[in-house]
Structure formats: C-alpha cells, structure tokens
Amino acid sequence: MQKIINKSDFINNLADNCENINHLKVDDAVREILGMMAHYLVNDGRIEVRGFGSFSLHHRKPRVGRNPKTGEQVSVAAKAIPHFKPGKALREAVNDSIQ
C-alpha cells in the first residue's frame, strides 16, 4: 500500500509535534520554506540539505522530436527540469527499511 502525505498533512503533523508553536505559524513557515526553495531553483540555484539530499536543475538542450501520431518533426524547446538527489543518510534509511 502506497503512503501519501500532502502539504496539508505535512503541516498538520509538524504542528502536532511542535507543542509551543501555533498551527498558523507552522503553516506560514512551511509555505515560506517551499517558496524559498522554488525561488532558488527558478534562479538556477542549488539547495543542499545535509543528510536529506539536494535539489538542482538539469538543463535539456533544444532538439527535434517527432509527433508519434503523424510522424511529423517538431522542434522541442530547451527546458530546465527540477532534479532531486537523495543524500547518503536518506538513501541508507530507505534501503534499510526495504530489507
């Protein structure tokens, strides 16, 4: 069974574990952190969280692709793809949980 946590669940769990902090302050803090992360990535930055992982952009060059339905050539613009690379501690924790 796949477990999913969305942003609201994350905020609620964090607020429940932080007894001295108001739920609204936790909500504001999480939204600010996510906004800052997005801002750094949009500006071609890199985010490193030791023990967790790093976020960066992978740049793809423009290329010529094909429409699979018609076979017609189409040009595909250059793009930047967000990429997450897990840190060693996270990788080991995930692998240990499988065994």
CA atoms within 13 A on the CB side of 80: 10
Q: What is the mean pLDDT of the chain?
A: 92
Kindly report, residue by residue over 49-72, the tens digit of the pLDDT: 998 999 999 999 999 999 999 999
Does the pLDDT of residue 2 top 80, yes or no? no
Mean pLDDT across the stretch 4-14? 91
pLDDT for the residue numbered 1: 52
Check whether 86 has a pLDDT greater than 80: yes
pLDDT at 96 over 80: yes
Cα separation, 18 vs 3, in Å, equals 23
